[in-house]
Chains A and B, each alone.
Chain A
Amino acid sequence: MVSKKTILTPLLAAGALLASSSVFAAGPTAETLAGTCSACHGYQGNSVGIMPSIAGSTAEYFTDTMKAFKSGERKATVMGRVAKGYSDEDIGKMAGYFSQQKPVGMKQSFDRTDAALGKKLHDEYCEKCHEDGGRNNEEGPVLSGQSKLYLTYSMEDFKMSHREGPKKMSKKVKSMVEKHGKGGVDAVLNYYASQQ
């Protein structure tokens, strides 16, 4: 885990350099802004409920996601309303903060048999982009350790075009479902949920 110290030090150092009036001009710090997210997304971005963990998102993925919520391009329950309250600069600061937090897998129940099958399917259909069993965040969000219910919602959203996904992803999912049925998707999600 990124220790508190590493986060605090640069912020405090920056604060010390600023004259009192520019403390205000600089706006809320990254840590302050991130603090407004934790009631829903968990302390330091690691969720223990069904909302997704945002710890360990790359700055780019976080920023793109917030912008998609803001523009309405990505459908949401509350995040569309929430994202509109933050400027691009705010979003940039939060993105920096969450990219530095280490993701911690959520404690949740899962089906062991499904998870074992899911691992195989993941390796075959998903691993190419979501590397390291979904732990890698370079091609998108961290999948391992996310809430299973949230991932289920995400898959529904991709299917309904409520959320834009890469073309190659829909192709892969389609061929997996053709071969293994809808249970295949569920198995893969059980695999991600098993990584705690």
Chain B
Amino acid sequence: MSNFNRRDFLKISGGLAVGATVVGCATNLGGAAKARVVVVGGGVGGATAAKYLRMMDPAIHVTLIEPNKHYHTCFMSNEVLSGDRSIKDIEFGYAGLAGHGVNIVHDTVTGIDAEKRMVKTADGDSFMYDRCIVSPGISFTWGAIEGYDAKVAEKIPHAWKAGPQTVTLRKQLEAMRNGGTVVIAAPTNPFRCPPGPYERASLIAKYLKTHKPKSKIIILDPKDKFAKKGLFTQGWKRLYGYGTDNSLIEWVGGAAGGKVESVEANNMVINSQVESIKADVMNVIPPQKAGKIAFSAGLVNKKGWCPVDVATFESHIHKGVHVLGDASIATKMPKSGYSANIQAKACASAIVAMLNEKEPGVPSYQNTCYSIVGENYGISVGMIYKYSKAKNLVTPIKGSGGVTPKDASMETLKREAHYAHGWFDNITHDIFG
């Protein structure tokens, strides 16, 4: 705590006052805290890490910096598109974390000085840290699709960060005529939530089937395969006539020219390699890279993702800074909320050990991703992983995991849909409760 200065002291005591009005939380800052951790980003990874740090060692002072007062989970945001949920059902605040004694600051981090161990924000504040955790999620590679940028995305949403764009897309679907065409442009690998675009197509189809059955969804995809493809297409055949002339869903893969080259926002035309489609509603999901702050803080490699030690999630580039969630490279874990939640626990546990001058323990990782295909119809993919020190990899444990069997009964698929909702209830409570 050598570089603890007066300004920090004011920050911490200020934070305490705020925390105290929320729940009279037991932050033990009467004396000096043992150490300070600053968490950048209050999404899945950041919020889980902040909470678990406080649970594991209440002597650590944790500040979480996040611009938004509310977080909207991407998971189950596709059910907002189908009308099964409202945006309020996927909205979470930070009072739970404050109750664990996390100091919440609503601001945007603009820079991380790894040498001075200092985080700077848009409001002009700076925060000193002993360890910093960065979980900023993704940003988009604008310009990869001609005519599609951040401004156009307000009218033609990507909705790949849940929130206002999810609501816009839902409204557009509601306003669409029966017989309209919805085009979903799926991204190239790697991207956040590999089954996400296909769950989205499924849930939009679920809505159209009952409300606008003459309509059609076309998925334009630069890839030839996608996560749980066999299970999705099986479900689409059963529920939406996939493969027939009247199918609600059509999928155009890379080999068939599915790569999108440009968007004409004014005419609502989307141009793939082989065809131009006039759409009523467009959902363009651009290629992705680590969140912007990872770039300004110099935490990324050439490909735009953050290389880390996958046991502690400490950056390979800047010591003392840990990157987790979608922004990090945690091969072979997919970029999912479940992964971010588990990585946050491994990272928090390693940081607690380090700050207590102990060796970090051995991590254990898991991922289970549910997708809703239709009414009472859910599928999943899961894997248990172990840490491979020699390769710095999170490696799948042989024989574990895998996808829902293709011959699963309708009863099993119904239960999977219910368990998907149960998972949502439990993980959001684990993160924000």
Contacts and interface: CB of A to CB of B under 8 A. Distances in A.
- B is bound to A: yes
A40 B363 contact: no
B84 interface: no
Contact of B382 (A24, A28, A82): A82
Interface secondary structure of A, over-half rule: helix
Interface of A: 4, 8, 12, 15-16, 20, 23-24, 26-29, 31-33, 35-36, 38-43, 47-51, 77-78, 81-82, 84-86, 90, 147, 149, 153, 156
B382 A78 contact: yes
A23 B433 contact: no
B383 interface: yes
B361 A47 contact: no
Contacts of A33: 364
A32 B430 contact: no
Contacts of B345: 32, 35-36
Interface centre among A16, A36, A42 (most CB of B within 10 A): A36
A8 B353 CA distance: 12
Interface string B381-409: 01111000100000001011110100000
A20 B359 contact: yes
B361 A78 contact: no
Interface stretch (B133-141, B220-228, B410-418): B410-418
Given A43-B430, A81-B382, A51 B362 contact: no
Of listed B349, B353, B412, B422, residue having the most chain A CB within 10 A: B422
B373 to A, nearest CB: 14
A82 B366 contact: yes
Contacts of A85: 366, 383-385, 397, 399-401
B430 A39 contact: yes
Given A33-B364, A36-B364, A51-B426, 10 more contacts: A4-B56, A23-B361, A26-B362, A28-B362, A32-B361, A39-B342, A47-B422, A49-B421, A82-B382, A84-B384
B89 to A, nearest CB: 13
6 contacts: A15-B358, A36-B366, A48-B433, A50-B419, A81-B382, A82-B368
Given A42-B426, A77-B419, A82-B384, A8 B56 contact: yes
B192 to A, nearest CB: 17
B337 to A, nearest CB: 8
B365 interface: yes
A48 B430 CA distance: 10
Contact of B430 (A12, A42, A50, A78): A42
B429 interface: yes
B152 interface: no
Given A28-B361, A32-B361, A39-B427, A86 B384 contact: yes
Interface of B: 52, 55-56, 338, 341-342, 345-346, 349, 353, 356, 358-359, 361-366, 368, 380, 382-385, 389, 397, 399-402, 404, 411-412, 415-416, 418-419, 421-427, 429-430, 433
Contacts of B362: 23-24, 26-29, 32
A96 B338 CA distance: 24
Given A32-B345, A36-B342, A49 B426 contact: yes
Contacts of A82: 366, 368, 382, 384, 400-401
Nearest to B389: A24
A95 B31 CA distance: 38
A156 B411 CA distance: 11
B430 A49 contact: no
A32 B360 CA distance: 11
Contact of B368 (A26, A29, A40, A48): A40
Contacts of A32: 345-346, 349, 361-364
Contact of A77 (B341, B415, B426): B415
A47 B412 CA distance: 20
B397 A48 contact: no
Contacts of B422: 40, 47, 49-51, 147
B426 A28 contact: no
The 4 A-B pairs of least Cβ separation, nearest first, read A85-B384, A85-B400, A49-B422, A49-B425
Given A39-B427, A39-B430, A16 B358 contact: yes
A190 B352 CA distance: 43
Contacts of A36: 342, 345, 364-366, 384
A33 B345 CA distance: 10
Nearest to A11: B361
A90 B429 CA distance: 25
Given A32-B345, A32-B361, A50-B418, A41 B426 contact: yes
A23 B411 CA distance: 44
Given A32-B363, A50-B418, A85-B366, A40 B423 contact: yes
